[in-house]
Amino acid sequence: MRRLLVTLDVEEIDWGRPRPGSQWEPWRPSAEGLGLILPMLEQLGIVATLFCTASFARARSELVRDAVARNHEIASHGLDHRDDYAAMQPEAAWERLRSARLRLEDVAGAAVRGLRTPRLAPCAAAVVAEAGYAYDASPHPTWLGHGWRGLRTTRRPWLEAGVVCVPLSTTPGLRLPVGWYVLRAFGVSLSALLARWAGVGTPWVHLYFHPWEASDLRPWLGAHPLARGTGPGWVTSLRRLLERVAPQLLPSTVGAAVEAWRADPLRGA
């Protein structure tokens, strides 16, 4: 049975220009969003993987520990969301990724095995492995925003330098992305159709979203494109999407799916 990997990039917001006097805190939207999303996932019986920046975990450690208590997996989203590991020298990227992992483990009280880089920037698998990670959930095999690099990326997991690379789901052929802004732009029905289609030929449906999408950003950021469609209504849309997709799949953390794949690389073929 194919698995459903629901992943959340838990980060401080480092884009847009907050309105003067808006009492803006960069980690507040993700914190508010988690307060809405985690109870909803628990009601649906879905476990998720939270890719947290160490900056967010330091600021809101109680939310990270709450996620662990609810049996969700904590993984790394880097030291700071402004980090671009592709642009760093390998030694600098290694140091920051290692520091991020150790800080997250200290907050979560559990081992951190997975990585998703900020903005899905590529990072050499050897660096990821040396920083202590077992898998990298950053690859996105779509041409949208990634060009030829995305088209050359396989939709199935692969092993590189000892690291399991776990691509985000895209559809066969057209390589259309699934999740994140697709849900806000095209709605529940089309998103559910794309998610089911994206599972063809892969061992899992791998979706990603951001907790800050559950917080209405318009009072803070005005007409910024990424603020459109944010707010509590988005949580309802996410719930409806998961209710449509989950019954045909086995909800799983990314870490558990990687362990199963390592045990049987043909699983889900």
| pLDDT tens digit sequence for 171-186 | 999 999 999 999 999 9
Q: Which CATH superfamily is domain 3-263 in?
A: Glycoside hydrolase/deacetylase (3.20.20.370)
pTM across the whole model? 0.96
pLDDT in tens, 17-41: 787 766 778 999 999 999 999 999 9
pLDDT in tens, 192-241: 999 999 999 999 999 999 999 999 999 888 888 999 999 999 999 999 99
Nearest CA to 176 among 201, 213, 151, 210?
Answer: 151
Q: Domain segments of the chain: what residues?
A: 3-263
